[in-house]
Chain A
Amino acid sequence: MKIGARPLVVLHWDEEFRERIRRISERDYVFQAVPDWESLREAVRESPPSALVVVDPYSETNGRTGPSPALRSLLVEFPSCAVFAAFDVTPDRFDDLRTLGKWGVVEVVSLEHDDTQLALLQRFRQSQGRPLRALLEQVLPPDTPGRARAILDAAAEVVAVGGHGRDLAKSLFLSRRTLLRWCERAELPPPRKLLAWMRILLAAELLDDPGRTVLSVAHACGYSSDSGLRRVTQKFLGTSPTTLREKGAFSRASQAFLKVLAKYRKGQVIGV
């Protein structure tokens, strides 16, 4: 599975702000400005899981107070999407801030405060893989050791940007050998297998997005066609993406993953 450069899709009225994002995206991201929510929806549908979306939540509110319902629809349709809300955070928008959190916005950029290039870059980096991390947090059993959780957390971040074992080691400031030892100690599969599982979970997360087709998920995950994705889901989960989607893809994939983790914890290492 190969994921290309990260798209950075922007829907914002402030030209100067858009330009600032365009400048910082030169190295690590592929910048794309869209004029309206509909174009944003289309862009998100075809984008890989590593994509970032920056929006003005008050864009096209059609005279209503509060954040745009179009943003809510976008997050309902693509819950796996990492959406940043960039707006002027003032006391009268306190309730909107909480609403945005409930809708699933992963980060807020406060205009005229932390909207500098460096601050934006830092926030983008920190939000890597946040939707997958949040989902994992919900399914991991409460007795999962802290060390294991920290590695899983880092692994979720790494796969979201198409990273590999060496990237995982780097993100934890470890050598690859130490990472292997840490995985053993935390009763986790070795890094390569762990990342393979994370990719499956990521694909499953995308399959649960109502706005995506199986083919678009396959493309988003770096496969040239849906047969590649089918092969992988068949190997790891014994089922096709379509069936998986019908039965709740992330829930089924995470159950299978937890079973594998349980076997590692009991010392019954298996081949997958």
Chain B
Amino acid sequence: MRKPRLSPPVRRTRRRWRVPPAITHGDEPFEGAGILEEFQGKLGLVLWQSVRDVSLWASTPEDRRSELFASGAEQRRRAAIRGEGLEPALETSLLEISELLGNPQALTGELTARACLQVAQWADDRGASATALAFAQSAAFSAPFDAATAYTVARLARRRAEQARAESWFRRTVALGRQSGDWAAYSLAFLGLGNLYMQRGVYPAARRFYVRALRAARRHALHTAAGMTFHDLFVLATLTGRVDEAERFARGAYDEYGSDHQRLPALAHDVGYFWMEQGYPARALPIFRALLPHLTRSAERPVVLANIARAAGAVGDRARFDDTWSQVWEGVAGGDAPEGAAGVLVDLARGALSLGDWERAEAAARRALEVAGERGEAKARLAAEGVLESARSREATEVRPRPGREAAADEADALAQELIRSLNQVTVPG
């Protein structure tokens, strides 16, 4: 029997590793200019100066850092920070950063990075994505070999739709993760690359990255990362029409997440929606119902309710459809429609269509068309036009299951049951 390995494997190659350089700027005219757009006045100025100080400090050799800033710079900055009456957590982090002005050699890269990441988190919580990215990047400059920090930069850049910048930081994370043995960051970086390529529509490349993410996650028993990768592979399989594979990946994601993972509701929703699209509303309906208590964000509730309405319509459950319709319709029928309202309306219209309720189907589809037009949502507009056409010509459009998939039905039903059981067992947050 093979003895279990207690120490990391000895590196056999003598080849030098090169960490790809990352893109460190977006379209801002000068460093940190995005901060000035997000925060005004003295606070904006303090944040802008702090982020520039860190990157200047981090780009200078350690033994020369004492020559960087003018004398008295620290006192002036501390006075400016204290005079602002900031939240204690932000004030503490900014004061920590200001130490590098007076005593630049005393501060370590790790401490500076931590302070910067705290400011980045603070900014991110307030939706100030440019500020969050600038501080996260400064943190990455301060701790240049930390894969997790590089991953944070990549994630923030991707959220700002700075795809090239995000990609360069993901690649850097891969290299740093491999060097330092931070396999969680390594695996998540591949996952991030996969998502980037999926957004670009380069599916084969996306799949390759997902497979690498999955391999790393499984090799190092990173269940959350493995679950997330299976989840994304599932989405990719649905996009590319690989139905059998999609179900296999959904099962993989469920197994890796376990029954009480925080991402389980997201997986359940995606799988339920997939089954709806495949013509299995009876399988999807109980999943959507089990999901309802798990929705913590107000924007999510109408989406799931609309799915319930659509599934109820498709299985002929008029009472449930009526009940759900009345819960959703008021919020989306008039006034300023919230984000995603067009999709919600299309699902309501489809449910009504399945029940032969042509008036309601037409009303929902017309409103969906209006909302999609206002918000410039081309995909929803197209779907709404299709449903409106069907409502006017009095024909139901719900998808029928593809023939020849009976063998897989047992496994799919079993997965559905397990998802429902897990959702019902898990304590709902808040």
Contacts and interface: CB of A to CB of B under 8 A. Distances in A.
Interface of A: 89, 91, 94, 97-98, 101-102, 104-108, 110, 112-119, 122-123, 126, 133-134, 137-138, 140, 142-147, 149-150, 153-154, 172-174, 178, 182
A102 B69 CA distance: 27
A182 B18 CA distance: 11
A112 B21 contact: no
A153 B170 CA distance: 17
Given A147-B171, A149-B164, A150-B21, A106 B73 contact: no
Contacts of B76: 112-113
A112 B171 CA distance: 39
Given A94-B40, A104-B29, A108-B30, A146 B164 contact: yes
Contact of B45 (A91, A107, A126, A178): A91
A150 B168 contact: yes
B315 to A, nearest CB: 42
Given A113-B69, A145-B164, 12 more contacts: A91-B42, A104-B29, A110-B49, A114-B68, A117-B67, A118-B60, A119-B69, A138-B27, A146-B163, A149-B165, A150-B20, A172-B21
Contacts of B36: 94, 97-98, 101
Nearest to B205: A145
B168 A147 contact: yes
B385 interface: no
A137 B28 CA distance: 11
Interface in B26-83: 27-31, 33, 36-37, 40-42, 44-45, 48-49, 52-53, 56, 59-60, 64, 67-70, 72-73, 76
17 contacts: A105-B29, A106-B29, A110-B49, A112-B73, A113-B49, A113-B70, A122-B60, A126-B59, A134-B27, A138-B27, A140-B164, A142-B163, A146-B23, A146-B164, A147-B167, A150-B23, A182-B20
For the complex of A and B, list the 8 residue pairs with the smallest distance between their C-beta atoms, beginning with the closest. Answer: A146-B167, A146-B168, A101-B29, A149-B164, A118-B67, A101-B33, A91-B42, A150-B21
A119 B36 CA distance: 22
Interface string B165-182: 111111100000000000
Contacts, number: 117
Contacts of B21: 150, 154, 172-173
Contacts of A89: 45, 49
B202 interface: yes
B111 interface: no
Nearest to A101: B29
A143 B200 contact: yes
B162 to A, nearest CB: 10
B222 interface: no
Contacts of B95: none
B22 to A, nearest CB: 7
A174 B20 CA distance: 10
Residue with the highest number of chain B CB atoms closer than 10 Å, among A98, A104, A138: A98
B44 A94 contact: yes
Contact of B69 (A116, A138, A182): A116
A160 B132 CA distance: 31
A136 to B, nearest CB: 11
B347 to A, nearest CB: 31
B45 to A, nearest CB: 6
A147 B20 contact: yes
Q: Which of A106, A118, A146: most chain B Cβ within 10 A?
A: A146
A33 B165 CA distance: 38
Secondary structure call for the A interface: helix
Nearest to A172: B21
A19 B168 CA distance: 40
A88 to B, nearest CB: 11
B30 A122 contact: no
Interface string B13-26: 00000101111010
Contacts of A144: 164
A102 B40 CA distance: 16
Given A118-B67, A122-B56, A102 B166 contact: no
B195 to A, nearest CB: 13
Contacts of B27: 134, 137-138
B41 A146 contact: no
Nearest to A118: B67
Given A107-B31, A134-B27, A154-B21, A116 B70 contact: yes
A92 to B, nearest CB: 10
Nearest to B157: A146
A145 B44 CA distance: 33
B375 to A, nearest CB: 22
B53 A105 contact: no
Interface in B170-202: 170-171, 200, 202
Contacts of B68: 114, 116, 118-119, 122
A131 to B, nearest CB: 10
Contacts of B25: 133
A153 B69 contact: no
Contacts of A91: 41-42, 45
Contacts of A122: 56, 59-60, 68
A37 to B, nearest CB: 21
Nearest to B44: A94
Contacts of B167: 145-147, 149
Interface in B132-170: 163-170
A118 B73 contact: no
Contacts of A104: 29
Q: Which of A89, A114, A115 lies at the interface centre, i.e. has the most chain B CB atoms within 10 A of its CB?
A: A114
A143 B163 CA distance: 8
Nearest to A108: B30
Contacts of A173: 18, 21
A24 to B, nearest CB: 11
B337 to A, nearest CB: 29
Residue among B41, B59, B70, B169 with the most chain A CB within 10 A? Answer: B70
Interface in B365-398: none
A182 B64 CA distance: 33
Nearest to B52: A114
A205 B63 CA distance: 39
Contact of B70 (A101, A114, A174, A182): A114
Contacts of B166: 146
B67 A105 contact: no
